[in-house]
């Protein structure tokens, strides 16, 4: 145990006691959870960031929207507004948050809303003239005022729960025992060569119950995309220089991806959901100007691109910014995962 973790551990004990009491109150019905008349699917985790929640939420939406009217409801973390907001055509990340904005950009045909009180947000969505037939909660596993029909909980393969501890000493929002509330457990960021015996060991370690389903996914990177529409995508080779900007929980995989193109990488790392100040914008422009050679670009994640697009960067700099989207890949049983949830909505929709 590191010195910092040792110092923070007493606070984790207090935090764990508070979480335990809260869960006890919900489990015994002293605190009430509300059910709704349309299916509600919750995509969440028990780790504070880094599990690939947004790509998995998008994958679920991508399948559901083929059959139903879908709404995605999020808290809108670090937005500059409060209350219920239904994202319109002119929505911004500052108004609704970066992850909801990313989803709004990708799926203009669905409803995207934010509300720090999820039950109120669902009620507002159901009051719309064309109410959704299914609602996807983006990161609501700990929001127990809503009783989701299906809880989908993500776990990072590269960070086993057994080697982590509760906040603030670790990254766990809840103890591993909270997994018993999950209907689907998805182990993300798995290696390509994950053997069947490794899957069985994980199944046993997580103590999967008869009513639960366990899936394994890999995060796959798509084609490089420009921040500004119409800008041609460069061909990256070992001679190019990159300024890598990340504001996500665990940027290591993204940086590893960039090293497939070149080792000439200058990194700037910010905290997850970081909002760029004017001073930081000037710093980005200065660092980019100092990078040698004509073949230089700024590479960032899809979530960071949403926020960078709204920054007061010069248009010249913005035309040099590119991002790489990610999607989850189910090596096996991916169709089963989607088909089960689609069948549930078909049977239970209003």
pLDDT digits (tens, 9 = 90+) for 93-124: 999 999 999 999 999 999 999 999 999 999 99
pLDDT band at 224 (very low <50, low <70, confident <90, very high): very high
Q: What is the mean pLDDT of residues 262-283?
A: 95
Predicted confidence at residue 11, as pLDDT, reads 96
Q: What is the mean pLDDT of residues 120-130?
A: 97
Q: Give the Cα separation of 216 and 199 in Å (integer).
A: 8
- Cα distances (Å, whole numbers) of residue 121 to 18, 43, 84, 112, 339: 26, 16, 6, 11, 27
Residue 245 has pLDDT above 70, yes or no: yes
Pick the CATH number of 3-220+329-348 from 3.90.1150.10, 3.40.50.300, 3.30.465.10, 3.20.20.70: 3.40.50.300
Q: What is the mean pLDDT of residues 26-47?
A: 96
- Cα distances (Å, whole numbers) of residue 21 to 15, 18, 128, 169: 10, 5, 36, 20
pLDDT band at 1 (very low <50, low <70, confident <90, very high): low
Q: At what angle do helices 53-64 and 98-106 cross, to 10 degrees?
A: 30
Q: Buried (b) or exposed (e) across 156-193, using 16+ Cβ within 10 A? A: bbebebeebbbbebbbbbbebebbebbbbbbbbbbeee
């Amino acid at each position: 145990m590191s010195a910092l973790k040792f110092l923070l551990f007493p606070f984790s004990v207090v935090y764990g006691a508070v979480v335990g009491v809260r869960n006890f109150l919900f489990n015994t019905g002293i605190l009430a959870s509300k059910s709704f008349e349309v299916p509600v699917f919750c995509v969440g985790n028990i780790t504070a960031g880094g599990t690939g929640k947004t790509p998995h939420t998008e994958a679920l939406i991508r399948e559901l929207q083929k059959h139903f009217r879908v709404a995605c409801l999020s808290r809108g973390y670090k937005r500059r507004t409060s209350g219920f907001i239904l994202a319109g055509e002119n929505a911004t990340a500052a108004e609704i948050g970066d992850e909801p904005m990313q989803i709004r950009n990708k799926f203009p045909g669905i409803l995207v809303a934010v509300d720090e009180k999820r039950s109120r947000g669902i009620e507002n969505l159901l009051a719309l003239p064309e109410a959704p037939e299914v609602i996807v909660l983006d990161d609501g596993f700990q929001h127990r005022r809503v009783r989701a029909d299906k809880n989908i909980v993500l776990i990072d393969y590269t960070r086993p729960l057994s080697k982590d501890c509760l906040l603030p000493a670790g990254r766990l929002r809840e103890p591993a025992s909270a997994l018993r509330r999950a209907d689907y457990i998805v182990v993300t960021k798995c290696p390509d060569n994950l053997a069947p015996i490794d899957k069985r060991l994980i199944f046993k370690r997580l103590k999967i119950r008869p009513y639960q389903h366990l899936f394994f996914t890999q995060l796959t990177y798509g084609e490089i995309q420009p921040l500004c529409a119409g800008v041609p995508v460069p061909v990256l080779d070992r001679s190019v220089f990159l300024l890598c900007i990340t504001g996500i929980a665990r940027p290591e995989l993204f940086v590893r991806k960039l090293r497939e193109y070149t080792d000439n990488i200058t990194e700037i790392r910010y905290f997850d959901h970081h909002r760029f100040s004017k001073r930081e914008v000037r710093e980005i422009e200065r660092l980019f100007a100092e990078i040698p050679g004509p073949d230089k670009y700024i590479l960032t994640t899809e979530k960071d691109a949403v926020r960078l697009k709204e920054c007061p960067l010069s248009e010249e700099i913005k035309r040099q910014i590119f991002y790489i989207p990610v999607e989850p890949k189910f090596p096996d049983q991916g169709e089963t995962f989607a088909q089960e949830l689609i069948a549930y909505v078909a049977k239970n929709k209003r």
